[in-house]
Amino acid sequence: MILSARGVHHSFGPVHALRGVDIDILPGEALAIMGPSGSGKSTLLHVLAGVIAADAGTVDFDGHRTSDMTEAERAQLRLREFGFVFQFGQLLPDLIAVDNVAVPLMLAGMGRREAEDAARAELDELGVGPIAGKYPGEMSGGEAQRVAVARALVSRPRVLFADEPTGSLDSLAAEQVMDVMTGVARDGGTTVVLVTHDPRTASYAQREVVVRDGQITTGAVLSEA
Ligand SMILES: Nc1ncnc2c1ncn2[C@@H]1O[C@H](COP(=O)(O)OP(=O)(O)O)[C@@H](O)[C@H]1O
Ligand SMILES: [Mg+2]
């Protein structure tokens, strides 16, 4: 397993968002986490990615118990090992596409020239090379989302976490984003954890689990056979 959670509980004040979730994720697979709005999908994604610490239970990533780590250790882990895509690209509005994608590389210590070359190559792979010089305000929703995927994948993360990545797109743009995102992730051996309530988006995954009222369907735990 690349990710495993056992007995995870999490509350926001009186709201018991996760009520004992067990889940396993295999290296290199694309897993869709489905379920109605408010069921706990985003909370589960955030716990798996170490964005929030669970109130109870364990989370393991690649043999490391991330649920025992400090906030700072989890932040380092996220920077090194994980990529994130959200519903709205959340690109930096004052930077052109290539600079948006180069930022995480430069934060990790890469020089500007090398980072921009890598960013351009990643934009090419995602089919948005021609808009490398555009600002987010000049892009369509689908273009902006592909740039966001390029930024998430450019540092070659082990796991890509995507939360409703097509939620703000029309169906054609959604298809293009899912095609390139899952294609590039597959080619790089990247594990994908995809939260969506849209069955068409989920169909890009190899496996689906369903969250309801903070609990997950049976079948989310795999045997290590
Ligand atoms: N930061 C927060 N503060 C308070 N309540 C929250 C917060 N985040 C989520 N919740 C609540 O936790 C429950 C699960 O939310 P969430 O995981 O975002 O569901 P989903 O992603 O499936 O729509 C909901 O009842 C939601 O209102
Ligand atoms: Mg959500």
Cβ(12) – ligand 1 distance below 6 Å: yes
Query: According to the model, what pLDDT value does residue 219 have?
Result: 74
* Side-chain-side CA neighbours of residue 42 (13 Å): 10
Domain of residue 23, residue span:
3-221
- Give the C-alpha separation, 84 to 17, whole Å: 21
- Give the C-alpha separation, 215 to 10, whole Å: 11
Cβ(83) – ligand 1 distance below 6 Å: no
Q: What is the mean pLDDT of each run of 10 residues along the chain (225 residues)?
A: 97 97 96 95 97 97 96 94 89 97 92 97 94 97 94 94 93 92 90 94 94 89 71
- Give the C-alpha separation, 58 to 60, whole Å: 7
Looking at ligand 1, which residue's alpha carbon is closest to its atom 12? 17
Pocket mutation for ligand 1, best pick of 16, 43, 46 (most atoms within 8 Å of C-beta) = 43
Pocket mutation for ligand 1, best pick of 42, 163, 201 (most atoms within 8 Å of C-beta) = 42
- Give the C-alpha separation, 89 to 141, whole Å: 8
Distance 209 CA to ligand 2 centre (A): 15
**DSSP character for 224?**
-
Burial 112-135 (b: 16+ CB within 10 A, else e): eeebbebbbebbebbbbeebbebb
- pTM for the whole thing? 0.94
Distance 15 CA to ligand 1 centre (A): 8
Q: Using DSSP, state whether 8 is helix, strand or coil.
A: strand
Looking at ligand 1, which residue's alpha carbon is closest to its atom 17? 40
Query: According to the model, what pLDDT value does residue 225 have?
Result: 47
Distance 168 CA to ligand 2 centre (A): 13
Six-digit token string for 224 = 């290590």
The CATH number given to whatever domain includes residue 20 is: 3.40.50.300
* Ligand 1 atom at minimal distance to the Cα of residue 35: 22
Cβ(218) – ligand 1 distance below 6 Å: no
Q: What angle do CA 202, 206, 209 make, to 5 degrees?
A: 60
* Ligand 1 atom at minimal distance to the Cα of residue 39: 22
Query: According to the model, what pLDDT value does residue 224 have?
Result: 60
Count the domains in the chain.
1
3-12/15-25 β-pairing:
antiparallel
Distance 163 CA to ligand 2 centre (A): 7
